[in-house]
Structure 1
Amino acid sequence: MSEEPLIQLEGITKTFGTGSAAFQALKGVDLTIDRGEFVAIMGPSGSGKSTTMNILGCLDTPTGGVFRFRGVEVQKLGRDQRSLLRRRYLGFVFQGFNLLARTTALENVELPLLYRGEKKSVRRDAAMHALEQVGLGPWASHTPAELSGGQQQRVAIARALATDPDVLLADEPTGNLDTERSVEIMELLVRLNGEGITVLMVTHEEEMAAFAKTIVHFRDGLVERTERGLRSAAARQEVPA
């Protein structure tokens, strides 16, 4: 018997507004994501990719259709239950880093654990481990102003990892970085994915999407097509048998 998909979207619709002002952002999206996948979501402005990511992140709810996460129908959950699911299973990385300027890297990474009510010693240990995962252990006491853009994004990724999530959702994670730093961040995401974390990423950069195992293209509120990530496929071919 095959393992149940981690995420399933079946006929997902999303309408904003009512009456003559109504706009249907999603028109029946079907998408299946297995555990351990690295999926890049692409598409022009207004294609529905960001709306889909908000639904996947339990930040918004669909108007219609079925959204299953680990077999649970998320669209039937209440606000508090969705919030618990988000805190327990999901980690978020944003284009703008969203770090607190006057606090250290370690304190920034601790924040989601603070919101969970974890003890200080537990927070410190988990945050330090997360910083070490992204190669920033020696920079734990530095503030964002003392870090490069790439290092700041690594801190943001460490913050998402601190809660030990099943899924990492990254919204344009390289959008504010130069090419060299962008490649570093993508290589980090590939490594984390190889360690078992499912990665879902929205990007408009084809070179960055190529690092994913699967690229899902959206257009006009629907999945237009899917393809394999070129760099991911090439890397697999280079691994000795």
Structure 2
Amino acid sequence: MTSPGASATPLIRLRGITKVYGAGNTAFQALKGVDLDIEQGDFVAIMGPSGSGKSTAMNMLGCLDVPSGGEYLFRGVHVESLSRDERARLRRRYFGFVFQGFHLLARTSALENVELPLIYRGEPATQRHAAARAALEQVGLKGWEHHTPGELSGGQQQRVAIARAIVTEPQVLLADEPTGNLDTQRSHEIMELLWRLNVERGITVLMVTHEPDMAAYARRMVRFVDGQVASDERNPHPHLMPEGASEGAGHVA
């Protein structure tokens, strides 16, 4: 389903995407012809019951898996035709990932955790340190650089994970149940942070969630049912929209 008012060349375009696991009598079709357009600067909440295909769709969008059929275009490039190494390079350049379980290295400082993607890129140490410090400051953790995950609250650990995801300056941030391990107050703090990264920095945010109050921060809500897009709706009043901000803008000055 195409978003109302979508441009001719969206950042992401899915057409007829299918995904089948297994073969013969044990085959399971997780996605059944998904059509979806995502514009640069959008904030999309992907929802649906367990087994609906939302997590499979997220894996496709993040280039972590390949479809069984259909077309996936990212910036006009046919992702389904790329090799494993080409998809890995695409992920490193354009995508950041945030998970429910944080996935931080336990005996490593916040600064070192955030530096990891830059190490994989081969960035010099001086540049890594500066970029990681800046990312931690952006998520409200200035002064916490040398604390290990065990010395941080759940909300702070998720902030470190978000800093790690944005330190490479990605165009797209994929968040899989980012508030699933947090209490209500910390959940709203993390959602406000994601919302501000979208509004102020223009990062496209794609978030899987089962919580309507978390989805309320998104500009758009896409619901999956039985491997298909059942609905695709604009949120007329994204949570915390400040005075003077445009709902359709990718950033504010």
| TM-score (normalizing by structure 2) | 0.91
The 2-side partners of 1:233 and 1:111 are apart by 32
Q: Is structure 2 residue 172 aligned with structure 1 residue 167?
A: yes
Letter of the 2:149 partner, please give it: P
- Equivalent of 2:26, from 21, 26, 29? 21
Map 1:1-241 to 2 at 5 A: 2=7, 4-194=9-199, 195-229=201-235, 231-232=237-238, 235=241, 238-239=243-244
Greater per-residue helix proportion: 1
The 1-side partners of 2:37 and 2:126 are apart by 38
The 2-side partners of 1:62 and 1:132 are apart by 38
3-state SS in 2 of match to 1:138: coil
Post-superposition shift, 1:240? 7.9
Aligned pairs, number: 239
Which residue in the other structure is 2:249 paired with? Answer: none
3-state SS in 2 of match to 1:109: helix
Identity %: 68
The 2-side partners of 1:180 and 1:3 are apart by 40
The 1-side partners of 2:124 and 2:213 are apart by 41
Post-superposition Cα deviations, 1:187-236, rounded to whole Å, max 9, x if no partner, equal: 00010001210000000111100100000000000000012336507736
Bigger shift: 141-150 or 89-98? 141-150
| TM-score (normalizing by structure 1) | 0.96
The 2-side partners of 1:230 and 1:150 are apart by 28
3-state SS in 1 of match to 2:35: strand
Post-superposition shift, 1:115? 1.2
Post-superposition shift, 1:159? 0.2
**Structure 1 residue ranges without an equivalent (≥5):** none
The 1-side partners of 2:245 and 2:146 are apart by 40
Bigger shift: 111-120 or 55-64? 111-120
Contact 2:31 2:228 in 1 (8 A): yes
The 1-side partners of 2:245 and 2:87 are apart by 43
Contact 2:217 2:240 in 1 (8 A): no
The 1-side partners of 2:116 and 2:239 are apart by 36
The 2-side partners of 1:214 and 1:183 are apart by 18
